[in-house]
Amino acid sequence: MTGRPMSFQRMILTLHDYWSEQGCVILQPYDMEMGAGTFHPATTLRALGPDTWNAAFVQPCRRPTDGRYGENPNRLQHYYQYQVILKPSPDNLQELYLGSLAAIGVDMGLHDIRFVEDDWESPTLGAWGLGWEVWCDGMEVTQFTYFQQMGGFDMKPVAGELTYGLERLAMYIQDKDNVYDLAFNDAGVTYGQVFLENEKQMSKWNFEVADTDTLFDAFRKATAECENCLANDVPIAAYEQAIKASHTFNLLQARGVISVAERQAYMGRVRDLAKGACAAWMTQHGWAA
Amino acid sequence: MTDFLLELRSEEIPARMQDKAREDLARLFAAEIGKAGLTASGIVTHAGPRRLALIACGLPEGTAAVSEEVKGPKTSAPPQALEGFLRKTGLTREQLVERDGILFAVSEKPGRATVEVLAEAIPGIVRAFPWPKSMRWGAASASTESLRWARPLHGIVALFGDAIVDVEVAGIRSGAATLGHRFHHPGQITIGSAADYVEKLRAVHVIVDQDERRAIIRTRAAELAREAGLELVEDEGLVGENAGLTEWPVPLLGRFDADYLSVPPEVIQLTARVNQKYFVCRSADGALANAFVCTANIEASDGGAKIVEGNRKVLAARLSDARFFYDTDLKVPLEQQAEKLKNIVFHEKLGTVADKVERVAKLARWLVEDGIVTSKPLPFRGGVGVGATSAGLGETGPTPNPSPEGEGLAILADQAERAARLAKADLVTGMVAEFPELQGLMGGYYAAAQGEAPEVAAAIRDHYKPVGQGDDVPSDPVTVAVSLADKLDSIGQFFAADLKPSGSKDPFALRRSALGVIALIIDNRLRFPLAGVMSPDALDFFADRLKVQQREAGVRHDLIDAVFALGGEDDLVRLLARVHALQAFVGTDDGTNLLAGYKRAANILKKEGVIAAPLPARERLGVGADAQASAPSPAAGASVDADAPTPTPDPSLAGRGDVLAYPPEPAEAALIAALDTAEPAAAAAVEREDFEGAMAALASLRAPIDAFFDGVTVNDADPAKRAARLALLARVRTAVHQVADFSRIEG
């Protein structure tokens, strides 16, 4: 690395350029709250079926229980994932990935990059895959997965998914110990200036303020609407309701109002919705053999 | 003779799969070439993250020609048989060979070039490879039939001598080219033959042999620690894992902030080990040092300074999290944490963890109050093992469970209940949520810090023990009570809910719990009639576990069966004393001969249809009546009366000398006399739990039995004599059965 390390936004722009060069569609974030980039329909739904699909996008992730009121240097209830999905998975996916690290300034003669077994599973999405967490000097910077199943369907063909933890990578590239100290741009704006107040307020809302009756009601309504969508053959809309139900469930968890015993039932409900949407999507395209 | 090299190059194979992959590769290869009649003089395998390799030495250039003979019909057979045989073999009558009136079809199979055999074998090996988890990838995966491998397979090197064995598997064509280290030498290199494989790869920063990588990690990590004035905490698991993650291992030592040492050392070690795969180090005084050793996969251009710094930061973040959990947990009294157990379901059929805690607390208290767990280990008079008999022989009273001192008992009972009530509280702490394997240990730390008695803290810490063969078995009475109560509760509850282990399925690890109970009882010599707290089916389950456990400890299973066959014994300590005495006895001349005499008697009785006496009731088998009297469940309450009259179900009474209607032969009289002495002596010894003594008493029967068989005809023409002598033999059998059912003993 020479000169000034990349700012947070420069990193995103560089990854956009890099994956754009590789033929990816560069999407903007999905306009709904979700816990991981994998929930983005451009991953979940588009991973299904035989069509070629290459896309890259930033997805804000909301994990209400990870909120720390802005007091923890590396835990956030809102952060960014950089998500790349390539179907079918190219034979040189590892090399492409390492190329992207080099592009954002990781010197692989100086740093120790490792592919450490980490099998991925999302019961909520009826999905699993094999791959690794990629370590840079012992820090997990990317989740690298070859999807094998999605929504309970075998992948035909298999898609490769890369999920970069942008804040972690930036902290590493900029050599910062605290996420709020990250240079957001090259004009002196820090990550803290952009997001610290947001973390404080949203942590408070997630843990203390959010009206649980409203949330329970929202969960019920989302599940009902999902059924409605499925009955009327609009799987994308149904999937959106599943995302909504999933995030509402996460908020209820943060509020501590779901008992351990109930937890499984709620998760099962969300899984049924997501799988139902995937199945409807497959059926609509004539892929569900 | 020529050597063969096979390299299967892929994306990073999980470290934990590599050892088995080597074994599988060697096995599959030997089997495949074996089918063609080839054997290698040696097979060496190597595994690493990116390649799996095999070198087979000393293969011939080709397989030998073989002539195969198929036997056909006799020359005298009807023409249909001959026609059928010709059809089957595709030969004509003239091509058959005749020998001794039988026709044979002889086919000469020419030898095949080894290269050809190998080319056929490789695709089979690759396709059949038994990865524990495998995946599909790439465009070919549009079909679910596409090749599966642990991770995408990219290259095959197959060289017989210096010749390429030409194969293609799933679009991958074999060759002589492979890749070097991912970062040090990403380009291609060409392998000449098996002979230069290892060295050519070494030149491009790949150490192909896992054992060499392990040695480097082991040695260098220890060296780094030593250079820093520390001692490495050795960990072969980590050595293997790091060797499975690297092609060019470079151990590096780093330091973390000494402030983190306020976190319990087990937590630091676990964080370092599990999350980061780092070794930890000890200072000269044996305490954990603020140092770690990570293993990089490159020789970094700055000597590794940046790598160490990066790893230090990651560890610091982890330790910071751990310290946060630890400090937060410390502030909440365990009692208060235990309240939250009401919200955790133990099992849907068995209520919450709080419900379990309530049961365990009561049971732990009862175990103490009933004298089963006492403040000092109880000597066992019968002698369970070496040294057991000598321990405090003089100071024990006549009962096996002497009444503990009143006050000591009350304290012990209170501590057992207290520990049981707090034992599961750490399950809701932040630290255990993060590291479930620290359950118990953290509770122990928190309890000690919050002012619980040391015995209570220790019991909370150790109550899951023993968790497997070879694990420490608790001996502190408070811990023993809680550990025993916890396991007995699980077994009892799951059995009551009909959630028993079956076959290979044991989702609640009840077998391990039973083994734990057995170890706790035996090691602490607890006089504990299990029937008092266990249902009959749970008791059978214990019996099975005990057999397995004792078999592994080298006790003959037939001897265990012989004692179990007596039935009704639920005191494991006494049962094993009997088994051990029996094992010692049958190893002696007396034992062997008595067994032979017994078997002869038993065979005659069996032939004559004289059935054995019903198995003696449990109360006849031994003492311990007072220990059982207060057991809380009716199952053990079966009132015990040591003076109860001996059941008289079989005709053995008729074998007594005083009721004979004829003058006995001398050998007959001698056996009667011997029995008159041995029977009460053996019974008394059994009563004292002196099973060696009982065996010795029975041994005195050996000579009279032999003499009886030599000098007396059992099957006498006089029905009265015959009946009396059969009765006498039945008496012998019954006498022997006081100790064990000898019919179950082999040999």
pLDDT in tens, B30-79: 999 999 999 999 999 999 999 999 999 999 999 888 888 888 899 888 88
Which residue among B302, B314, B348 sits closest to A138, beta carbon to beta carbon? B314
Query: What integer pLDDT is reported at residue B659 of this predicted model?
Result: 65
Residue at A147 is within a domain: yes
Say if the Cβ atoms of B140 and A157 lie within 8 Å: yes
Q: Lowest mean pLDDT of B390-399, B425-434, B726-735, name the range.
A: B390-399
Q: Check whether residue A201 and residue A215 sit in a common domain.
A: no
More confident residue, B688 or B553: B688
Alpha carbon distance B312, B309 (integer Å)? 5
Query: What integer pLDDT is reported at residue B533 of this predicted model?
Result: 84
In the stretch 335-374 of chain B, residues with CB closer than 8 A to chain A read: 343-345, 348
Q: Is B10 on the interface with A (CB under 8 A)?
A: no
Q: Check whether residue A191 and residue A253 sit in a common domain.
A: no
Q: Per residue in A29-84, pLDDT tens? A: 999 999 999 999 999 999 999 999 999 999 999 999 989 899 888 889 999 999 99
Report the number of distinct structural domains present in chain A.
2
Say if the Cβ atoms of B136 and A129 lie within 8 Å: no
The token pair at B429 is 């702490």
Query: What CATH number is given to the structural domain containing A242?
Result: 1.20.58.180
Query: What integer pLDDT is reported at residue B90 of this predicted model?
Result: 85
> In a mutagenesis test of the A interface, which of B9, B10, B12 is the best target, namely the one with the most A β-carbons within 10 Å?
B12
Q: Check whether residue A141 and residue A242 sit in a common domain.
A: no
Q: Check whether residue A43 and residue A169 sit in a common domain.
A: yes
Q: Per residue in B105-114, pLDDT tens? A: 888 888 899 9
Query: What integer pLDDT is reported at residue B651 of this predicted model?
Result: 46
Which residue among A91, A112, A130 sits closest to B135, beta carbon to beta carbon? A130
Say if the Cβ atoms of B306 and A172 lie within 8 Å: no
Q: What are the residue ranges spanned by the domains of chain B?
A: 2-62+113-204, 71-109, 210-330, 337-378+405-554, 556-611+658-746
Say if the Cβ atoms of A158 and B138 lie within 8 Å: yes
Query: What integer pLDDT is reported at residue B405 of this predicted model?
Result: 58
Residue at A129 is within a domain: yes
Among candidates A212, A181, A206, A205, which has minimal Cα distance to A195?
A181
Say if the Cβ atoms of B296 and A260 lie within 8 Å: no
Q: In which band, very low, low, confident or very high, does the pLDDT at B634 lie, cut at 50, 70 and 90?
A: very low
Which residue among A88, A113, A148 sits closest to B139, beta carbon to beta carbon? A88
B686 to chain A, closest Cα gap in Å: 53
Closest-CA residue of chain A to B313 = A177
CATH top-level class of B556-611+658-746 = mainly alpha
Amino acid at B504: S
Name, in order, each residue with C-beta under 8 angstroms of B420's C-beta and a sequence gap of 6 or more: B357, B360, B361, B363, B364, B365, B459, B463, B481, B482, B485, B486
pTM above 0.90, yes or no: no
pLDDT at B614 over 60: no
Domain end marker among A206, A234, A267: A206
Say if the Cβ atoms of B345 and A109 lie within 8 Å: no
CA trace torsion B28, B30, B36, B42 (10° rounding) = 160
Query: What integer pLDDT is reported at residue A74 of this predicted model?
Result: 84
Which residue among A112, A130, A177 sits closest to B313, beta carbon to beta carbon? A177
What is the arithmetic mean of pLDDT over B516-535? 89
Tell me how many degrees the CA angle B567-B573-B579 measures, rounded to the nearest 5.
Answer: 60
The Cα-based distances of B382 to B468, B576, B734 in angstroms read 28, 10, 22
Say if the Cβ atoms of A139 and B314 lie within 8 Å: yes
Residue at A119 is within a domain: yes
What is the arithmetic mean of pLDDT over B142-164? 96
Q: Check whether residue A100 and residue A188 sit in a common domain.
A: yes
Tell me how many degrees the CA angle B316-B320-B323 measures, rounded to the nearest 5.
Answer: 135
In the stretch 512-571 of chain B, residues with CB closer than 8 A to chain A read: none
Beta-bridge partner residues of B109: B66
* Arithmetic mean of pLDDT over chain B: 87
Residue by residue, pLDDT tens for chain A (289 residues) are 457 899 999 999 999 999 999 999 999 999 999 999 999 999 999 999 999 999 999 999 999 998 989 988 888 999 999 999 999 999 999 999 999 999 999 999 999 999 999 999 988 888 999 999 999 999 999 999 999 999 889 999 999 999 999 999 999 899 998 999 999 999 999 999 999 999 999 999 999 999 999 999 999 999 999 999 999 999 999 999 999 999 999 999 888 888 766 788 888 899 999 999 999 999 999 998 6
**In this predicted complex, what is the ipTM?**
0.94
Residue at A162 is within a domain: yes
Q: Check whether residue A132 and residue A98 sit in a common domain.
A: yes
Domain end marker among A166, A190, A206: A206
Q: Is B334 on the interface with A (CB under 8 A)?
A: no
Name, in order, each residue with C-beta under 8 angstroms of A235's C-beta and a sequence gap of 6 or more: A45, A229, A277, A278, A280, A281, A284
- Burial class from Cβ neighbours inside 10 Å (0-12, 13-18, 19+) for residue B130 reads exposed
Residue at A227 is within a domain: yes
Q: Check whether residue A80 and residue A108 sit in a common domain.
A: yes
Three-class secondary structure assignment of chain A: CCCCCCCHHHHHHHHHHHHHHCCCEEECCCCCCCCCHHHCHHHHHHHCCCCCEEEEEEEEEECHHHCCCCCCCCCCCEEEEEEEEEECCCCCHHHHHHHHHHHCCCCCCCCCEEEEECCEEEHHHCEEEEEEEEEECCEEEEEEEEEEEECCEECCCCCEEEEEEHHHHHHHHCCCCCHHHCECCCCCCEHHHHHHHHHHHHHHHHHHHCCHHHHHHHHHHHHHHHHHHHHCCCHHHHHHHHHHHHHHHHHHHHCCCCCHHHHHHHHHHHHHHHHHHHHHHHHHHCCCC
Query: What CATH number is given to the structural domain containing A69?
Result: 3.30.930.10
**Which is it for strands A25-27 and A53-62: parallel, antiparallel or unpaired?**
parallel
H/E stretch holding B633: none
B595 to chain A, closest Cα gap in Å: 60
Q: Check whether residue A124 and residue A253 sit in a common domain.
A: no
Residue at A1 is within a domain: no
Which residue among A108, A136, A158 sits closest to B310, beta carbon to beta carbon? A136
Q: Check whether residue A230 and residue A182 sit in a common domain.
A: no
Total beta-carbon pairs less than 8 A apart between chain A and chain B: 115
B138 to chain A, closest Cα gap in Å: 5
Q: Per residue in B213-259, pLDDT tens? A: 999 999 999 999 999 999 999 999 999 999 999 999 999 999 999 99
Say if the Cβ atoms of A115 and B12 lie within 8 Å: yes
A225 to chain B, closest Cα gap in Å: 31
Q: Check whether residue A222 and residue A251 sit in a common domain.
A: yes
Say if the Cβ atoms of A90 and B138 lie within 8 Å: yes
What is the arithmetic mean of pLDDT over B720-741? 90
Q: Check whether residue A219 and residue A201 sit in a common domain.
A: no
B80 to chain A, closest Cα gap in Å: 52
Alpha carbon distance B420, B463 (integer Å)? 9
Which residue among B134, B245, B309 sits closest to A116, beta carbon to beta carbon? B245
Range of the domain at A216: 211-285
Query: What integer pLDDT is reported at residue B463 of this predicted model?
Result: 96
Q: Check whether residue A197 and residue A217 sit in a common domain.
A: no
In the stretch 155-194 of chain B, residues with CB closer than 8 A to chain A read: 182-183
Residue at A19 is within a domain: yes
CA trace torsion B478, B481, B487, B489 (10° rounding) = -120
Q: Lowest mean pLDDT of B465-474, B546-555, B582-591, name the range.
A: B546-555
Query: What integer pLDDT is reported at residue B739 of this predicted model?
Result: 87
A1 to chain B, closest Cα gap in Å: 12
Tell me how many degrees the CA angle B392-B397-B401 measures, rounded to the nearest 5.
Answer: 90
The token pair at B660 is 């004979």
pLDDT at B391 over 50: no
B144 vs A contacts (CB less than 8 Å): 154, 156
One-character DSSP codes across B247-305:
SS-EEEEEE--GGGGGS-HHHHHHIIIIIT--EEEE-TTSSEEEEEEEEESS--TTTTH
Which residue among B12, B182, B306 sits closest to A111, beta carbon to beta carbon? B306
Q: Per residue in B173-188, pLDDT tens? A: 999 999 999 999 999 9
Q: In which band, very low, low, confident or very high, does the pLDDT at B507 lie, cut at 50, 70 and 90?
A: confident
Closest-CA residue of chain B to A73 = B317
- Burial class from Cβ neighbours inside 10 Å (0-12, 13-18, 19+) for residue B701 reads buried
Say if the Cβ atoms of A157 and B141 lie within 8 Å: yes
A5 to chain B, closest Cα gap in Å: 15
Domain end marker among A148, A175, A206: A206
Tell me how many degrees the CA angle B78-B80-B85 measures, rounded to the nearest 5.
Answer: 105
Say if the Cβ atoms of A158 and B314 lie within 8 Å: no
pLDDT over 70 percentage in chain B: 90
B317 vs A contacts (CB less than 8 Å): 73-74
Core vs surface per residue B164-203: b (16+ CB within 10 A) or e: bbebebeebebbbebbbbbbbbeeeeebebbeebbebbee
Residue B601 DSSP one-character state: H
Q: Lowest mean pLDDT of A58-67, B659-668, B715-724, name the range.
A: B659-668
Interface of A with B (CB under 8 A): 50, 73-74, 88-91, 94, 108-117, 119, 129-132, 136-139, 146, 148, 154-158, 160, 172, 177, 259-261
In the stretch 678-707 of chain B, residues with CB closer than 8 A to chain A read: none
Q: Which CATH number fits domain B337-378+405-554: 1.20.120, 1.10.286, 1.10.3470, 1.10.3210?
A: 1.10.3210
Residue at A33 is within a domain: yes
| CB-facing half-sphere around the CA of A154: CA atoms within 13 A | 12
The Cα-based distances of B650 to B221, B615, B619 in angstroms read 74, 11, 19
